[in-house]
Structure 1
Amino acid sequence: MSKTRVALLVGSLRKDSFNRQLARAVEKLAPEDFGFEHIRIDNLPLYNQDFDGDYPPECRRLKDEIGAADALLFVTAEYNRSIPGVLKNAIDIASRPWGTNSFAGKPAAVLGVSVGAQGTAMAQQHLRNVLAYLDVSTLAQPEVFIQHKEGLFGPDGAIGSEGTRKFLQDFVDRYVAWVRRHG
């Protein structure tokens, strides 16, 4: 059986990002036939329409990795009540130039963790709007807005709270079914 290739984009560059930790913990809950590729977005130039005719190598790499994926998973921080600039820039690069949208037609899900009580809700809402425009079918439920608290992640990187782990397992199960239905 071939693996379902999931392009995983984390909207935070911080080395010890809670969202990067969440992405790794969610991977552990997925079935073995789902493979996650962490897509590098920290080395991209700012999108500029001037290079639409001749994309820089790191931009072509991003477009190729997104294009080769069967599904998408966005795990994002929230900066100033919206999508982090680095993630928006990556989305702009991979969806351009016009007619070469690497995201089109792919199933996706969005989740995030934050120290704030609303746990990335605004960033996710904005991201869902952008993805809808890019013809990405996004899993609507369950929404995953997690507030980071001490003990959320165990020493092995797995979810440390049993209730949160069960909630995330339900999310992963529904995401897997969503991807398989749209695959």
Structure 2
Amino acid sequence: MTHVAVLVGSLRADSVNRQVAESLKAQAPAGVEVEIVDGLADVPFYNEDIDGAEVPASAAALRAQVGKADRVLVVTPEYNATMPAVLNNAIDWLSRPYGQGAIAGKPLGVVGVTPTPYGGKWAHEDTQKSAKIAGAIVVEDVTVSQTSIDVDVLNDPEVQGKLRGALDTLVAFAPETSAA
């Protein structure tokens, strides 16, 4: 069983990206468990002063949920030509302690939709950059930046196929190991 933790960059209950994440969860192939990480709105902004002996419960839960996953999939829109603050904050918490955070060494992919001509491309690039710096293994082939201006992304077979293909690629990804 491959466990995929999904971080959704939009907090809005009816977010199209949340619906994409739910769709991927419902259509997960056999042997794959997709778990959407809830509670990102409850995680305080990262502050090293509160990241000590008593980590806030919401941040500890985030770290635990992502820590037990085999893969991480980010499903996010684009806000002001970058990733949403809630997603950046989650990555900040997941990156600590440096080099040993819950995201370190985990294959990670980024997909999403947004009603812009670029389909979230910049948010996805910024998410990949931040996650890589945090220690994740960014799977470059897992990128779907789709505009939702003229396409019903939840019912379009081509878009749904791209999204399922991205999940399949992330699950199948085998990190290269270097010889000692």
Q: Which residue of 1 aligns with 2:157?
A: 162
In the TM superposition, residue 37 of structure 1 has moved relative to its aligned partner by 1.4
Give me the CA root mean square deviation.
Answer: 1.9
- Contact 1:29 1:172 (8 Å CA) reproduced: no
What is the rounded CA distance, in whole Å, between the counterparts of 2:164 and 2:59 in structure 1? 33
Relative to structure 1, is the Cα distance of residues 9 and 135 closer, same or farther in structure 2, using a 3 angstrom cutoff? same
Aligned residues: 174
Aligned pairs for 1:94-105 within 5 A:
94-105=94-105
Relative to structure 1, is the Cα distance of residues 11 and 170 closer, same or farther in structure 2, using a 3 angstrom cutoff? same
What is the rounded CA distance, in whole Å, between the counterparts of 1:98 and 1:168 in structure 2? 31
Q: Secondary structure at the match of 2:73?
A: strand
Aligned pairs for 1:143-154 within 5 A:
143-149=143-149, 152-153=152-153
- Contact 2:6 2:72 (8 Å CA) reproduced: yes
Structure 2, gaps ≥5 residues long: none
Q: Which residue of 2 aligns with 1:7?
A: 5
Relative to structure 1, is the Cα distance of residues 106 and 150 closer, same or farther in structure 2, using a 3 angstrom cutoff? same
Tell me whether 1:120 sits opposite 2:120 in the alignment.
Answer: yes
Tell me whether 1:45 sits opposite 2:40 in the alignment.
Answer: no
What is the rounded CA distance, in whole Å, between the counterparts of 2:18 and 2:73 in structure 1? 12
Q: Secondary structure at the match of 2:41?
A: coil
Aligned pairs for 1:1-183 within 5 A:
3-40=1-38, 41-53=40-52, 54-141=54-141, 143-149=143-149, 152-153=152-153, 159-178=154-173, 181-182=174-175
- Contact 1:52 1:97 (8 Å CA) reproduced: no
Q: Secondary structure at the match of 1:78?
A: coil
Which stretches of structure 1, 4 residues or more, deviate above 6 A after TM superposition? none
TM-score by length of 1: 0.86
What is the rounded CA distance, in whole Å, between the counterparts of 1:99 and 1:165 in structure 2? 35
Letter in 2 for 1:61: A
After the TM superposition, which of the residue ranges 115-124 and 161-170 deviates more from structure 2? Answer: 161-170
In the TM superposition, residue 52 of structure 1 has moved relative to its aligned partner by 1.9
TM-score by length of 2: 0.88
After the TM superposition, which of the residue ranges 8-17 and 34-43 deviates more from structure 2? Answer: 34-43
Which deviations, in whole Å up to 9, do the C-alpha atoms of 1:36-90 show, x marking residues without a partner? 1111211111111101212111111111111111110000111111110011111
Q: Secondary structure at the match of 1:143?
A: strand
What is the rounded CA distance, in whole Å, between the counterparts of 1:111 and 1:97 in structure 2? 26
Q: Which residue of 2 aligns with 1:156?
A: none
In the TM superposition, residue 142 of structure 1 has moved relative to its aligned partner by 5.0
